[in-house]
A and B are shown apart, each in its own frame.
Chain A
Amino acid sequence: MIKKDSLSIDLAENIKVLESIYADCSDVIFRHFSIGNRIKAILIYIEGMSDMEEMDKNVLTPLMLREIGRQFDIQTILEKNLAVSAVKEVSTFKDVTNEVSSGNPVVLINHQSQGVSVGFAKSEKRSIQEPTSESVVRGPRDGFIETLSTNIVLLRQKIKSTDLKTKSIQIGRYSQTKVVIMYIEGLADHALIQEVENRLNRIDIDGVLESGYIEEFIKDHPYSPFPQILNTERPDVTAASLLEGNVVILTDGTPFVLIAPTTFYSLLQSAEDYYGGFIIGTFLRWLRYAFLLVALLLPSVYVAILTYHQEMVPTSLLISVAKSREQIPFPALVEALLMEGSFEALREAGIRLPKNIGSAISIVGALVIGQAAVSAGLVSAPMVMVVAITGIASFMIPRYSAAITLRILRFPIMFLAGTLGLVGIMLGILTIIVHMCTIRSFGVPYLQPLAPIRNTELKDSIIRAPWWSLKNRPHWTSDYNKVRQPNGQKPSPSKGKE
């Protein structure tokens, strides 16, 4: 109510209102001074959020030493006295508090219904480092940080076109977090941009501390375990998605940006697929697809075969497996659940523990589970191998959010394998396939381009075709801009002179 009111002409009144707004805020400073010894003015700022040295030099000094001429208003002060590029006029209390909260000191002058905010906000920021969650051998080493403006700069440096657009909104009643939607005009579908904006505007929450909060609010299928929006800390991945016509959502205060829409295949791609040559990229992709199945199914298949389909195991192998299981008191299912459970616990403990203790835990875990449990006859050696291979396989999936989904799904399938054998595993797989066929991410079917089939996009999902042959953009790009690059760029050795 008061906050929305515009500033009054009378400075004393303004001060009274602002002091009541900032009651019990010991960090908000009201600095009274007068311009040219005659006109009263006040400077309001939050201690530590602004660069006061610059403030003194460029704002207070010229204002206090100013001679007052015939004409005196905000415009002339802005034009002649403030040697600062980032200034903004404020006219309501809401503006004033917004500016002060974001660290820009505000100057209010008597007899003026407008104030000036000076862009001397100073924030603590981390330096740009290599992202730890997605490391590459070849590729750029910079990663997003917690400061929104820096993240936008990182993207602007990669895409310099003026078509790169940013739309800013605020989410969070108390946190008032700045969220920016980024897209490339002419590549991103307008309906998609509008949809993203609508979904973001719908959010009404106390505070947004991480982009995960937003993700849960704008997902298409809130109960699905599958990640429907990609998150990344890498500017190059983000820039690549922008170029494919995706919309990117940057949130202040977190290095993780959201990318929509997302298909299942983009969760299985690493940035390096595109940097290391297409034959290698294709090979790595196939390896990843194969180990995706291993990560999901290996323990279940082991359990099913040992419990129901022993005839599938060649005799010599069966004898050695049976020998190692001779002393084990548990059925295969219980053994598998125990081992997988403790492996997950170890992994989780390893992340939460302080770095220097973490290695100790992994040694203890390896010794206890790998060695002692086997020699004590609690678990069999083949089971340890199965769990280890499954663990390695689940780390091959480049996106943490996708890997953890698969790890969760492994457990119900293990139960099915223990109760219905291979039939149970098939039922589990079919359920997952049906579920994935149901999901859409911002209108794009999740299993695209395999279901529904899109021939041109298969080139960049089942294999990684060479860059010069990736002629078309993904289909969710707006319809009028389908072609990425012209034909005939396939390189060949120059004919030369004979």
Chain B
Amino acid sequence: MLERGKISPVQMALFMNPAISATALLLVPSITAKHAHQDLWLSPIWASFIGYFIVFVSYQLNKLFPNQTIIEYSQQIVGKFFGKIIGVILLLFYLHITGVIVREYGEFVSGASLFHTPMAVIIGTMVLVCSLAVRGGIEVIGRAGEIIVPVVLLLYVIIFILLIKDLEIKNMFPIMEKGITPSLMGSVSPQSWFSEFILISFLLPYVTDRKRGMKWGMISVFSVTVLLVLTNIMDLLLFGNMTASLTYPVMVAARYISIADFLEHLESIVMAIWISGTFIKITVFYYAITLGTAQLLKLSDFRPLILPIGFLILLFGLWSSNNLEELSLFLGTSGAIYILSIQIIIPVFLLLTGFIRNKVQQGKGNNENEAPVNH
């Protein structure tokens, strides 16, 4: 096998949380607020169902092909040629999405503190650090997640607590003034984030305890939901209907913090925390692309691919949009459909086909496909 490391289900759940939530925390509140208005805190809850569904689908697919990633079993399910095409589509898609993610990071950092630094430097340094983690393989990503994620979550909770005194409950009402539709409309964009949970189909073969893998995948989805609901409530109670017009509501919220008139303007601290979450996010995507490419090309080692793919990610980051407004528009409109269609339709199609094929072959008494193929 390409990857010899193993991770525990808890490790997977820990690093999947920032792998979804890191960028969602920044952009989603204002995108959601545009449609959902004061119901924006409900949207992540609707969106999370996609997350649970996707974790379920990847777990079922993994049950059919326990030791393979989506790139490998797609070739088993629909044949070598079409399987490879699906693999290429997925990898190009993730390359693009990772480019979008690093661009989100770059736009945020350059907007928040490094105004004059070239975008290529901001993105390039981050991709370089991520490449170190990818080089270490899944175990290193798992361990780094165990160190970073608890700290990030703890600091996030502390920020929330420090803001409690500024919250205005009345901003929340009336709940569901125009029925459920606005919050459902607002949930389309978070849905695309939740659909990224399909990434666990790259990781499940390396999880020690698959049964608990499903459970902890669900817990991970739940934790992201809680985090997003908390963020949205926080933004709603702070800004009310103004949320939609802010680009980074969380950053603006951090400006409200003032402890003893001494600790003020903590947005740089928030940024620093957020960077470590984004680091995990980019690393997980980067790792999936690298591993997937190596599997598609049937290489014996994925490490030589790391730097070339990192360079591609940097380029995609520079190309993906011209500025923040364009990026935000993309993620709020066409991007949501684009991301959802690939990350839901392909796995569901694979699962159904695989299931039917399995049934047919079992009827014939031929169990070829059931036997896991070890590379």
Contact = CB atoms under 8 A, between A and B. Distances in A.
Contacts, number: 89
Contacts of B262: 314
Interface stretch (B39-47, B144-152, B219-227, B228-236): B144-152
Contacts of A434: 129, 132-133, 136, 140, 144
A308 B113 contact: yes
A451 B144 contact: yes
A53 interface: no
B144 A422 contact: no
Given A420-B114, A431-B132, A426 B143 contact: no
Interface string B276-299: 100100000000000000000000
Contacts of A423: 109, 113-114, 122, 271-272, 275
Contact of A314 (B10, B117, B147, B264): B264
Interface residues of B, number: 35
Contacts of A445: 143
B268 A312 contact: yes
Contacts of A309: 113, 268
B142 interface: yes
A34 to B, nearest CB: 70
A433 interface: yes
Contacts of A437: 133, 136, 139-140, 143-144, 147
Nearest to B125: A427
B132 A452 contact: no
Q: Is the interface of A mostly helix, strand, loop or mixed?
A: helix
Given A312-B268, A427-B125, A452-B142, A421 B147 contact: no
B215 interface: no
B55 interface: no
Nearest to A305: B268
A426 B261 CA distance: 26
DSSP majority for the B interface? Answer: helix
A463 B262 CA distance: 31
A427 B126 contact: yes
Nearest to A435: B132
Contacts of B122: 420, 423
B243 interface: no
Given A312-B268, A437-B144, A447-B147, A431 B10 contact: no
Contacts of A424: 125
Contacts of A435: 132
B266 interface: yes
A450 B150 CA distance: 11
A430 B109 contact: no
Contacts of B143: 437, 445, 447, 451-452
Contacts of A420: 114, 117, 122, 125
A348 interface: no
A124 interface: no
A430 B8 CA distance: 22
B114 A308 contact: yes
B265 interface: yes
Contacts of A427: 125-126, 129, 275
B11 interface: yes
A32 to B, nearest CB: 67
A450 B10 CA distance: 13
Interface string A442-480: 000101001111000000000000000000000000000
B146 A452 contact: yes
17 contacts: A308-B114, A309-B268, A312-B268, A420-B122, A420-B125, A422-B268, A423-B113, A423-B271, A427-B125, A427-B275, A430-B144, A430-B279, A433-B148, A434-B140, A437-B136, A445-B143, A453-B10
Interface of A: 308-309, 311-312, 314, 420-427, 429-431, 433-435, 437-438, 445, 447, 450-453
Given A312-B266, A420-B122, 13 more contacts: A309-B268, A312-B264, A422-B268, A422-B269, A422-B271, A423-B113, A426-B272, A427-B126, A427-B275, A437-B133, A437-B143, A452-B143, A453-B146
